[in-house]
Amino acid sequence: MGAFLALWRICALVPGRAHLPGLFNRLLMFVTVGCMLQRNTRGNFNQSGLLLMHVNSRYRGHTENRRAVVRGVAGVMLMSLFHSSAQAQMALASAINRTARFRALSQRIAKAYCQLYLNVQPALARDVLLSARHLVATGGEELARGLNTGPWPPDVAALLGGIQKHVDVLNSVLTMPPTRESVRAVALQVDKILITANTTTEAIEKLSKAGPARLINTVGRQRMLSQRLAKNYFLVAAKLEETSTRQQMNADVVEFQSTLSSLVKLPITTTNIRNELTLGEQQWIFFEAALRNKPDESGLKNIATASERLLEVMDRLTGLYEGALRDVLG
């Protein structure tokens, strides 16, 4: 019962909590009916067993064995429905995490590419670029296979296909050594991936119809914000920023800080989640301070390393929230 209460608390703490998620309704029904079946099996049937009265009245003349069989079949059916629903929700939660990761990876690729152009810790930049491109490739292959509960709906499949098309264009640009023109082209292309990946993540979240799925999306977005801030910092240093770049950076700082503060206040956490949140707060203090510095040689190096550390924490944190949802549903 504690697991269901935990799910209810999580649902109550995320945006859009005005509508009780359908999943919690089903879980509550399973608990209620399960308790009724259990009481009836012990011979303590009372007014709470109204749902079964109609069955008992129709088969009043039948043996106890017949009633036991009916109760057993009903129990198996309910557990089957719960298992199917829980499996689907866990698959969608994992898909949300993986799809949302494209948002961060797109910005991380542009950050590393611009970092190479500026010749800031080039060895680190090459490693980051290689790692990010590998994660994009493997993540695309995994999502293309669909859910373990079945294929994607046509609209989601089309969005995933759109991400891959944008990635193909990006890869063609990344084959060139970083120049002023190619850095600008990469920056424009990764934003197309970001927009499509965000739309896809939200579409999968709607399929879930469970409050905790939105929490995973929100936590996962922190990864992207950390990388977009670093990318834009490098673009400013390269004098390749757009007119809205600094305004976007200010908005991203506010959003990251606000979301982090909200996560810290959530009462539903594990020890590991609390530890990562504490570490995330510490890394954010350092990263935000580095963002305020001029993009000189020292400032660029600080952003290069701090953005990677913050990304690692936010990625682990997203995985921990996904795991917590799995524990509730599993």
Q: How far apart are CA 317 and CA 124, in angstroms?
A: 23
Tens-digit pLDDT string for the chain (330 aa): 444 444 444 444 444 444 444 444 434 433 333 333 333 333 333 333 333 333 344 444 444 554 544 444 334 333 333 344 667 777 888 899 999 999 999 999 999 999 999 999 999 999 999 999 999 999 999 898 877 667 899 999 999 999 999 999 999 999 999 999 999 999 999 999 999 999 999 999 988 876 677 889 999 999 999 999 999 999 999 999 999 999 999 999 999 999 999 998 887 678 899 999 999 999 999 999 999 999 999 999 999 999 999 999 999 999 999 888 777 765
Q: Would you state the pLDDT for residue 102?
A: 98
Cα(116)–Cα(13) distance, rounded to whole angstroms? 42
Phi, psi (degrees; rounded to nearest 5) at 294:
-65, 145
The reported pLDDT for the residue numbered 52 is 33
**pLDDT of res. 178:** 97
- Give the pLDDT score at 49: 35
Enter the tokens of residue 8: 């209810």
Alpha-carbon gap, residue 129 to 89, rounded angstroms = 32
Write the secondary structure of 72-87 as one string of H (helix), E (strand) and C (coil).
HHHHHHHHHHHHHHHH
Distance of alpha carbon 161 from its chain centroid, rounded? 19
| 147: phi then psi, degrees, rounded to nearest 5 | -80, 160
Taking the C-alpha atoms of residue 16 and residue 130, their distance in angstroms, rounded to an integer, is 38
What integer pLDDT is reported at residue 150 of this predicted model? Answer: 76
Q: What do you get for the CA distance between the two ends of the chain, in Å?
A: 13
What residues contact 216, with CB distance under 8 A and at least 6 apart?
93, 96, 97, 100, 318, 321, 322, 325
